[in-house]
Amino acid sequence: MKPPESDHQLFERLRAGQEQAFLALYQKRQPALYRFALQMSGSASVAEDITQDVFMALVRDECGYDPSRGSLAAYLFGIARKLLLRQYERRRSDVPVDTGGGEAGFAELVDDADPLADLTTRERVEALRRAVASLPRRYREVVVLCDLEEVDYAEAAVALGCPIGTVRSRLHRARSMLAVKLRDERHGGASVPAWKAARCAI
Amino acid sequence: MNCEDYWNDLTGPEPEVDFEAHLAACPACTARYAAGRPVAANLRLLAADMKRVTAPPRVEARLLRAYRERYGQPVPPARELHRWWAAAAAVLLAAGALWTGARSPERPRVASNSPVAIAAVDEQDAAFVPLPNAAGSPQDDDVDLVRVELPRSAVTALGIPATDDSDSASVEAEVLVGPDGMARAVRFLN
């Protein structure tokens, strides 16, 4: 059985005018890109435009993709992210950010119990959807890429233009923030800080 | 150095190594890290729920047009041309039956107002609809996807109303054609 073509092979063939290669690459990569744009913008029409613009850049050979700098998938996510940032700047309509659970001094949890343990699967999914949408953008994008789209840390780092360590630490932090948000939602208000960020002698 | 520096990746040239070492020695950060674990497990549920969400087929149609404008329209080989006409004929014959006999059931209720959740439901509409004459056909994987363009007048003559959001003179559809040349399923792109 013939092994599936790599993204790079498809990319080279599409640039040679082979339509089937373009369609194969589109069908392989568009779902994750569309979902990324949808989760980041909260708008199906914006996600549709972003997905179209990313692949239009490929069609017009405007993307300047360099294989030595990372995978094509990471590069496409990077283009999508830049287009989304442009959208934010133009529209100033980012999904509302809950700064109370944000960068500094957010309430921490002392246990690792599942905050959604007694909910049905559908309720869990909806609660998570709301919680992810309320994350600040730079935390939301690592959760969407790494946890929802299963992009590995190295590819996420290329897409986000930051070191791998930053991806990892943002992801840890984003998950902690989600745990707080989910617990707050379950208990109808801000959680009591049971654990405060402490100076550490280590 | 305090705990926040580790969480903010401000610990020097090897932040991952430093972070792991810090976790091993700091019970408070270990607890904080552990709090994220059940969330990661729950996120897999959301990921699975989102997997069916994809871009609407019209995006592919627009991109294909742009690609063909840039690189030129491919000339289909004789075999493909034959299937194109077979598919077009099958669509015309089946479209009326689809509209009158296979009206889709009531749309599923959307539990959330989130555009993400609504998009997940909308994508179900983009699925292929089996053609009535394909009910007894064998289930095989060796099918071709053929895109056809039908005159809007031909479709409306069969009882399918033209949509408000399109002013084009034709509608696009994709047809799955089996190895016997018979159309198996269809989806309309606009």
Q: Which residue has the tokens 């329209």?
A: B73
User: Is the distance from CB of A56 to CB of A109 less than 8 angstroms?
Assistant: no
pLDDT at B37 > cutoff 70: yes
Q: How confident is the model at residue A110 (pLDDT cuts 50, 70, 90)?
A: very low
Mean pLDDT score, A129-157: 94
A142: CB partners within 8 A, 6+ apart: A156, A160, A167, A170, A171, A174
CB of B119 less than 8 A from some CB of A: yes
**B11 token code pair:** 């610990």
Give the pLDDT band (50/70/90) at residue A124: confident
Q: Which of the residue ranges A42-46, A136-140, A154-158, A189-193 would you say has the lowest mean pLDDT?
A: A189-193
A49, A55, A26: which is closest to A37 by C-alpha? A49
Q: A88 to chain B nearest CA, in Å?
A: 17
Give residue A154's pLDDT.
92
Share of chain A above pLDDT 70, in %: 77
Whether B140 has its CB under 8 Å from any CB of chain A: the answer is: no
Give residue-wise pLDDT tens across range B86-121. Answer: 566 666 655 554 554 444 444 444 455 566 665 655
Please, what is the angle between helix A121-133 and helix B37-50, to 10°?
100
Q: Name chain B contacts of A122, Cβ cutoff 8 Å.
A: 111
| Domains detected in chain A | 7-91 (1.10.1740.10), 99-187 (1.10.10.10)
Question: Are the beta carbons of B50 and A148 separated by less than 8 Å?
Answer: yes
Which pLDDT score is estimated for A194?
Answer: 36
Mutation target to probe the A interface, by most A beta carbons within 10 A, among B23, B58, B63 is: B63
| E strands in B93-133 | 129-130
Residue A40 class from Cβ within 10 Å (0-12 exposed, 13-18 middle, 19+ buried)?
A: buried
CA distance A191 to chain B (A): 14
Region A73-87 average pLDDT: 94
d(CA A80, CA A40): 10
| Alpha-carbon gap: B83 to the closest alpha carbon of chain A (Å) | 17
Q: Do B164 and B145 form a contact (C-beta atoms < 8 A)?
A: no
Residues of B in contact with A168 (CB under 8 A): 9, 15-16, 19
Nearest CB partner across the interface for A148, out of B33, B37, B47: B47
Question: What tens digit of pLDDT does each residue of A32-45 get?
Answer: 999 999 999 999 99
